[in-house]
Amino acid sequence: MRLRHTWTVLAATAATSIALAPAASATASPPGIPSTSTALSQLAALPVETEGSMTGYDRDEFDHWITRDGCTTRETVLARDGDDVTVGSDCYPDSGSWFSEYDGQTLSEAPDLDIDHVVPLAEAWRSGADSWSDQEREDFANDLEGPQLIAVSASSNRSKGDQDPSTWWPTRTSYRCTYAKMWVATKYRWGLALQSAEKTALANRLESC
Q: How far apart are the first and last CA of the chain?
A: 27
| Side-chain half-sphere CA neighbours of 176 within 13 A | 20
Residue 7 has a pLDDT of 33
At residue 69 the predicted structure's pLDDT band, cuts being 50, 70 and 90, is confident
Share of the chain above pLDDT 90, in %: 85
pLDDT tens readout for residues 154-177: 999 999 999 999 999 999 999 999
Residue 93 has a pLDDT of 95
Q: How far apart are CA 58 and CA 164, in angstroms?
A: 18
Give the residue among 70, 102, 69, 96 at the shortest CA–CA distance from 81: 96
Q: How far apart are CA 203 and CA 166, in angstroms?
A: 11
Q: Which residue did the predictor score with more confidence, 119 or 1? A: 119
Contacts of 13 (CB under 8 A, 6+ apart): none
Mean pLDDT throughout 113-129?
Answer: 98
Q: Are 88 and 96 in contact (CB under 8 A)?
A: no
Share of the chain above pLDDT 70, in %: 87
At residue 5 the predicted structure's pLDDT band, cuts being 50, 70 and 90, is very low
pLDDT tens readout for residues 7-57: 332 333 333 333 333 333 345 689 999 999 999 999 999 999 999 999 999
Mean pLDDT throughout 142-161?
Answer: 98
Phi, psi of 71 (to 5 degrees): -115, 135
Mean pLDDT throughout 138-165?
Answer: 98
